[in-house]
Structure 1
Amino acid sequence: MKVRSRLAWGVAGLMALPFGTAQAEQAPAIDLAKSVARADAVAKQMSGDEKTVLTHGIMPLPFVPGTVLPEGSVPGAGFIPGIPRLGIPALTETDASLGVSWVGGLRKDGATALPSGLAQAATWSPDVLYHGGAMIGSEARAKGFNVLLAGGVNLMRDPRNGRTFEYLAEDPLLSGELVAAAIRGVQSNGIISTIKHFALNGQETGRKYVDVKIAEGAARESDLLAFQIGIEKGQPGSVMCAYNRVHGEQACASDWLLNKVLKQSWGYKGFVMSDWGAVPGVEAALGGLDQQSGEQLDKAVFFGDVLKAKAASDPAYAARIHDMNRRVLTAIYAAGLDRNPTKPGGKIDFAANAQVAEETAKQGIVLLKNNGVLPLAKTAKSIAVIGGYADSGVVAGSGSSLVHDEKGPAATRSLGGDSPFSALMQQSYHRSAPLAAIKAAAPAAAVTFRDGRYIADAVEKAKQAEVAIVFATEWRTEGLDQPDLSLPDGQDALIAAIAAANPNTIVVLETGGPVAMPWLDKVAGVVEAWYAGARGGPAIASVLFGDTNPGGRLPVTFPASLGQLPRPKLDGADWVEPNFSGDAEPGKDQLHSDYDIEGSDVGYRWFARKGQKALFPFGYGLSYTSFSASELKVSGLNASFTITNTGKIKGDDVGQLYLVNRAGEAKQRLVGFKRITLEPGAKQKVTVTIDPRLLADWKDGGWVMPAGEYGFALGKNAEDLGAVVKVKMSRKIWKD
């Protein structure tokens, strides 16, 4: 039998485009447990000085004051020296889940930008996430990095969160399955992926101080379950803890999160790295933190000489420092960093990688409204394109996850400021112009463009055209939350005016999360394109003109108003002056967020509990064809159903199976999903296995499924549910 190297799996995955319904060959998850014994033996060989080499590192970027780049480092997020005497390689780290981070262009190179996390999640396809992870992991390796700070999986508890665009969904099953696939893809390249930010990191406002209150059961059934599924199925080498506090403790020093839940309850064998500037002190080591990252951003280097002195005098710290090294080494050996070292200058097939980004964007675009205007005819005579820098590119989310190609952004809009991080705090656009793609798709049409700054001018062009396409952008960044759900810069007024001038107005939304749509009933079509990445322009045009039949489904709920949210007013928004570092003064010790309001009922679960109708519900998405779902059968934890393409063209549908009631109590939870492609008239039987944790409650240190009748239903989305199938279940109690 021929044994394939892990690196070969990543290459095989990238060559298997398009993704479609056939599952392309994928690498298995790495096995952390198999490397523990070797890691333990090597850790025991370390000298006293060597024991703090792997426990802390710098951010090797020259715009951090006083930073000198060490030999062997690559400009990026982090660098931890190796120990040559023991054959231990250095750790070279880069952000992030959407591609190898731009870091202001300091490396004078570029990378392929995947669409935003929400766009990826809108595919509802683990296969797509795997390929995206494999692609960005391959580019990280080629640039000399061996740790990718990917795997963002925080649930969307508030749609105003500035980092919503980086994350995946509001549901633990969907988020966990997708992030696991992305992690496997990254690590197929023989490098380490993280999963982040552990945990309950729900807002950027006062992010270093906000103290989250939540009962353990509610946390275990929601945010923590997403991490648990992602860790079980993805086996990331590292977990990155979060900035926020939980129950009064900093997440990066939380004994409950890091020791009791992650390492003891879940048995996690890898290491916990801090977020940059998130370490409160050396005591975080006893709280479960294994590595201090970006140490220049903390008040002191706690995990160097301070930790060494503690270990020399305190048996608890001595045991802990050995475990810290063992965990870092476990990840290094499991991922094969010592066997297959990385170095800068590797070859990158940017053309092939761009196809991965484009296919991801196509599959993640969601059609929200269509009054028959879409798909557009390629024989259209006149099209007015308005707004959104559509003549330049597609908007990108900012912060540590920002990615650009070697030429840099197509356009930028500075937010001003003079901090060292100002370069990361600007609105920028990927070099993939929708206007050019629209012109290419309809070569005979007279296509005009107006930037939308002057509404009267844009209205005049809209009146002259058969169709008006308005591109609306909503920019987000790490370090800032949105004040509300409106479109900025008067774009809502622009859309309303264009719609009044042309009945065939289509709105293309490039947003980092849910937005309000006061003009919804006035427009003919709405397309959610998210942050569409390196090939966003052609992907959007492909959907508009019907070359791609939209199959994306919303991974988050779009509320009708802020009043529907558990916290209509963002915690801290009235007194916090946010900035990139998340600092907040005054009153930093009084900033609290009560997640017990909704508990585990995040997103669509909250809407179901309150009986509220969303603007667009979780799981929603239209198509240019039609589908039916039928023949639902549930036996124990196994379910099957049939999806039929009842329309006239080929398309993708996502089968969604929901628990709707349990033992006489209304309770809605997504328990299974599957994206499939069907020819017109074709049907396919879908089978799913239900994770019992989705049917259970966390009580008294374990999972409890009550005895009784359980109701299940197929849904076009979380609000449009079919007939309920009832199944009797026995009481079950178990530990993790």
Structure 2
Amino acid sequence: MSKVWRLLVAASTMVVAGTTDTRAQQAPAVDMKAADARAAATVKQMTADEKVVLTHGIMPLPLGGPTPPIPADAIAGAGYIPGIERLGVPALKETDASLGVSYVMGIRKDGATALPSGVAQAASWNPDLMYRGGAMIGSEARAKGFNVLLAGGVNLMRDPRNGRTFEYLAEDPLLSGILVGAAIRGIQSNNIISTIKHFALNGQETGRKYVDVKISEGAARESDLLAFQIGIEQGQPGSVMCAYNRVWGEQACANDWLLNKVLKGSWGYKGFVMSDWGAVPNIDAALKGLDQQLGEQLDPAVFFGDKLKDKAAADPAWKARLDDMNRRVLTAIYASGLDRSPVKPADKIDFAANGAVAEEVAKQGIVLLKNNGALPLAKSAKSIAIIGGYADGGVLSGAGSSQVHGEGGPAVTRPIGGKGVWAGFIAQQYHRSSPMDAIQALAKDAKVTFRDGRYIADAVEKAKQSEVAIVFATQWTTEGLDVPDLSLPDGQDELIAAVAAANPNTIVVLETGGPVKMPWLDKVAGVIEAWYPGARGGPAIASVLFGDTNPSGRLPLTFPASEAQLPRPKLDGSDWVEPDFSGGPSSGSDKLVSDYDIEGSDVGYRWFARQGAKPLFPFGHGLSYTTFESASLKVKGLTASFTVKNTGKREGADVAQLYLVDRAGQAKRRLAGFQRVNLAAGASQNVSLTIDPRILADWKNGGWTMPAGEYTFALGKDAETLGAPVKVRLPAKTWKD
């Protein structure tokens, strides 16, 4: 991309964000040119043995099976790469993940602050809040002695059944890229490295090491890759973590097109590519663009140690590649200041302050999906029945490598099955933040009772006896497994329908990893989507229920009415026999192809618009306890301006959404800009957005192309509910990345 276009893109993402705290718009001062030059000088001083120190590392955890000796300075966590003391290069000490410092099954015997799930964060549509959350979890990683946080999950949701949907952000590349960039900036403000992951097109957990993604380059560039591109531009992550899946027949961590041609070539990325754990197929991955082999004991062999050294000694091409690998790792170390500001474990972490950040994220991410006037609840209520979801004890969290828990571990653990340490890795767990306690604290005079929901008759009887019934419904998801469908498990759909029939004032609180169907929707008085709400989820939920917080979340994902509306109604690989945790089949062929060319770049709401299908809830949907009006849209060139007014009776926040709806006579549906606006009752604000030209363009013939013609835009309450169209004529334009 030309320098002019890069400046325009940077301006667009800064203005689109529309935050009030300028910290979110200021990436850490990173002089990549100086860091790269310093790295090159250090590489020249390295011996042959030293050149394979930074290229591979272990997972320093006693997880059964062959475990390499764990160095004395390693911390129980995701990864460890020794430093080079002679050259002043620090060891890399790595921890999962985007939601906080990983719990690692309690091995460290400590706690950390859990942010709400990625989709909950994205539902805030607030880059400043993403920055604050990233800064918080980055500070805790640093305080625990880690200097690399394996965060920055930004894969688009192509299938709502994906077990890792909760870790990621959204289905739209612009929203995802801006938000992940802000989170990465926050993390790296602590002088530690953040990744962005999983590169790329990592859309499901079923057969995750075998599934081969089929997609055209143009469709990939306009969707998943654009999310990564914007995130890298905005966040400047020190590392990119590649994915488990295959793309065009090659493993993502040994994929020349992804790593060399796109990431390092087209985008000019100067940091390093680390593998996912157990994702390196062979030594040739180095030539394909992989710079570092992590969790090496999970791979067939240690490829980037002595084997790599021998290759470099025998072949100048391998020697040059090894030098480049080291230069990239060192560039990230120097740019992030790991050597200048070494991490030291802290004596104390301010969990109260950090919990307040997590609670604010939860409050802004909760989405009010339906309200017939029952919400907000009155604090004068005399009797409230709370049903299901372990709501007396805590709030649900997603499982896998991103699992975080506070001091003392989970409030509730529900075994899923299996044996050994991996059974704990994917156990269903709940944070110690009781919604019931928080509800009782606000409704001080109410008789608040709990039923676990196992017996529908018992729950119905309690609902009949109460003024209000609140059903907490959960959908547990995890890394390593996809959900078979979008129903609520354990008979919860039947439970909700029965409770709603017994009490017309039934409110449903959803704690889910992503979209779910709601066959009972027309029977209940209100629905809020709380996602996995993190360390302070209980108070956040209660605050929204009783109106202390005016809900302002907007869906970052489309909620389909049924699986039949999806590009792939049947999940690819779902008919495999007993897939194991690694994502492979226990029997049969390892050939599994997922055809993303079905929807191409029309992911999520774009697919629904193309098909003319009506979802259960559209992308961008969210209600408030007040009302807003966006009007007076004007578009001149790549600048859009309009006014947002709070037309209700109380303060609240709206998310103004600008959509491209037609381009040169061709129907389109693309989010072109957004801004979160907080307004007092009756107040209004003028908004100006600069549109990223890539949102208007197609990727063709190795570059971006905007055809000449009329471009039609509209303001939307969501991707379906659009205002009056406004047209602007734009000239043809082509450019490279």
Specify the TM-score bucket, using the shorter chain as the normaliser: over 0.9
Q: Deviations over 1:630-687 (max 9, x none)?
A: 0101111111111000000000000000000001000110010000100010000111
Q: Deviations over 1:107-134 (max 9, x none)?
A: 1110000000000000000001000000
1:583 maps to 2:584: yes
SS in 2 for 1:302: coil
**Native 8 Å contact 1:32 1:237 kept in 2:** no
CA shift, 1:689, in A, is 0.8
1:552 maps to 2:549: no
Q: 1:46 is matched by which residue type in structure 2?
A: M
- Which residue of structure 2 aligns with residue 195 of structure 1? 196
- Write the distance in 1 (CA, Å) between the matches of 2:389 and 2:65: 36
- Write the distance in 2 (CA, Å) between the matches of 1:589 and 1:69: 34
CA shift, 1:69, in A, is 1.7
**Native 8 Å contact 2:438 2:542 kept in 1:** yes
Q: How does 1:307-318 map to 2 (within 5 A)?
A: 307-318=308-319
Provide TM-score, normalisation by structure 2: 0.96
- Which residue of structure 1 aligns with residue 225 of structure 2? 224
- Write the distance in 1 (CA, Å) between the matches of 2:113 and 2:123: 20
- Which residue of structure 1 aligns with residue 450 of structure 2? 449
**Native 8 Å contact 1:642 1:684 kept in 2:** yes
**Native 8 Å contact 2:18 2:676 kept in 1:** no
1:22 is aligned, of 14, 20, 23, to 20
1:565 maps to 2:566: yes
- Which residue of structure 2 aligns with residue 244 of structure 1? 245
**Native 8 Å contact 2:18 2:675 kept in 1:** no
- Which residue of structure 2 aligns with residue 394 of structure 1? 395
**Native 8 Å contact 1:383 1:469 kept in 2:** yes
- Write the distance in 1 (CA, Å) between the matches of 2:605 and 2:416: 34
SS in 2 for 1:113: coil
- Which residue of structure 2 aligns with residue 15 of structure 1? none
- Which residue of structure 2 aligns with residue 619 of structure 1? 620
- Write the distance in 1 (CA, Å) between the matches of 2:574 and 2:198: 22
CA shift, 1:178, in A, is 0.1
Q: 1:33 is matched by which residue type in structure 2?
A: K
- Which residue of structure 1 aligns with residue 46 of structure 2? 46
- Which residue of structure 2 aligns with residue 406 of structure 1? 407
CA shift, 1:541, in A, is 0.1
Q: Unaligned 5+ residue runs, structure 2?
A: 1-16
Q: How does 1:170-181 map to 2 (within 5 A)?
A: 170-181=171-182
- Write the distance in 2 (CA, Å) between the matches of 1:502 and 1:477: 33
Q: Deviations over 1:530-555 (max 9, x none)?
A: 00000000000000000000000000
- Which residue of structure 2 aligns with residue 266 of structure 1? 267
Q: Unaligned 5+ residue runs, structure 1?
A: 1-18
- Write the distance in 1 (CA, Å) between the matches of 2:455 and 2:717: 40
Q: 1:56 is matched by which residue type in structure 2?
A: H
- Write the distance in 1 (CA, Å) between the matches of 2:90 and 2:205: 34
SS in 2 for 1:533: coil
- Write the distance in 2 (CA, Å) between the matches of 1:255 and 1:315: 19
- Write the distance in 1 (CA, Å) between the matches of 2:546 and 2:153: 33
Q: Deviations over 1:368-422 (max 9, x none)?
A: 0001000000001111100000000000100000000120000000012114312
Q: Deviations over 1:598-638 (max 9, x none)?
A: 00000000000000111000000000000000010111111
CA separation of 1:579 and 1:433: change in aligned 2, threshold 3 A? farther
- Which residue of structure 1 aligns with residue 169 of structure 2? 168
Q: Which runs of 4+ in 1 moved over 6 A?
A: none
Q: 2:32 is matched by which residue type in structure 1?
A: L
- Write the distance in 2 (CA, Å) between the matches of 1:708 and 1:31: 40
SS in 2 for 1:179: helix
The answer to which of 527-536 and 308-317 deviates more is 308-317
Q: Deviations over 1:336-359 (max 9, x none)?
A: 000111122343110000000000
CA shift, 1:137, in A, is 0.1
SS in 2 for 1:589: coil
**Native 8 Å contact 1:374 1:544 kept in 2:** yes
Q: 1:55 is matched by which residue type in structure 2?
A: T
Q: Deviations over 1:206-264 (max 9, x none)?
A: 00000000000000000000000000010000000000000000000000000000000
CA shift, 1:588, in A, is 4.5
**Native 8 Å contact 2:579 2:586 kept in 1:** no
Q: 1:62 is matched by which residue type in structure 2?
A: P
Q: Deviations over 1:133-186 (max 9, x none)?
A: 000000000000000000000000000000000000000000000000000000
**Native 8 Å contact 1:240 1:273 kept in 2:** yes
- Write the distance in 1 (CA, Å) between the matches of 2:71 and 2:309: 22
SS in 1 for 2:360: helix
CA shift, 1:21, in A, is 5.6
CA separation of 1:470 and 1:108: change in aligned 2, threshold 3 A? same
Q: Deviations over 1:288-312 (max 9, x none)?
A: 0000000000010000011111111
**Native 8 Å contact 1:516 1:560 kept in 2:** yes
Q: How does 1:270-281 map to 2 (within 5 A)?
A: 270-281=271-282
- Which residue of structure 1 aligns with residue 521 of structure 2? 520
Q: Deviations over 1:700-736 (max 9, x none)?
A: 0000000000000000000000010000010000000
SS in 1 for 2:598: coil
CA separation of 1:563 and 1:244: change in aligned 2, threshold 3 A? same
- Which residue of structure 1 aligns with residue 10 of structure 2? none
- Write the distance in 2 (CA, Å) between the matches of 1:119 and 1:493: 26
CA shift, 1:24, in A, is 5.2
- Which residue of structure 2 aligns with residue 10 of structure 1? none
- Write the distance in 1 (CA, Å) between the matches of 2:573 and 2:370: 35
- Write the distance in 2 (CA, Å) between the matches of 1:588 and 1:175: 35
CA shift, 1:32, in A, is 2.9
- Which residue of structure 1 aligns with residue 463 of structure 2? 462
Q: Deviations over 1:548-573 (max 9, x none)?
A: 00000000000001000000000000
- Which residue of structure 2 aligns with residue 132 of structure 1? 133
**Native 8 Å contact 1:206 1:588 kept in 2:** no
1:536 maps to 2:534: no
Q: 1:39 is matched by which residue type in structure 2?
A: A
Aligned alpha-carbon RMSD (Å):
1.1
- Write the distance in 1 (CA, Å) between the matches of 2:125 and 2:587: 42
Q: 2:383 is matched by which residue type in structure 1?
A: S
SS in 1 for 2:528: strand
SS in 2 for 1:596: helix
- Write the distance in 2 (CA, Å) between the matches of 1:31 and 1:353: 30
Q: How many residues align?
A: 718
- Write the distance in 2 (CA, Å) between the matches of 1:34 and 1:174: 31
CA shift, 1:581, in A, is 2.0
- Write the distance in 2 (CA, Å) between the matches of 1:192 and 1:347: 22
Q: How does 1:336-375 map to 2 (within 5 A)?
A: 336-375=337-376
**Native 8 Å contact 1:571 1:592 kept in 2:** yes
CA separation of 1:605 and 1:546: change in aligned 2, threshold 3 A? same
CA separation of 1:34 and 1:577: change in aligned 2, threshold 3 A? farther
- Write the distance in 2 (CA, Å) between the matches of 1:100 and 1:610: 41
CA shift, 1:425, in A, is 1.3
- Write the distance in 2 (CA, Å) between the matches of 1:577 and 1:314: 44
CA shift, 1:44, in A, is 1.3
Q: How does 1:415-494 map to 2 (within 5 A)?
A: 415-494=416-495
- Which residue of structure 2 aligns with residue 34 of structure 1? 34
- Write the distance in 2 (CA, Å) between the matches of 1:340 and 1:132: 21
Q: Deviations over 1:445-489 (max 9, x none)?
A: 111110000100000000011110000010000000000000000
- Which residue of structure 2 aligns with residue 714 of structure 1? 715
SS in 1 for 2:74: coil
- Write the distance in 2 (CA, Å) between the matches of 1:20 and 1:687: 9
**Native 8 Å contact 1:32 1:235 kept in 2:** no
CA shift, 1:502, in A, is 0.2
- Write the distance in 2 (CA, Å) between the matches of 1:24 and 1:60: 39
**Native 8 Å contact 1:638 1:689 kept in 2:** yes
- Write the distance in 2 (CA, Å) between the matches of 1:70 and 1:567: 47
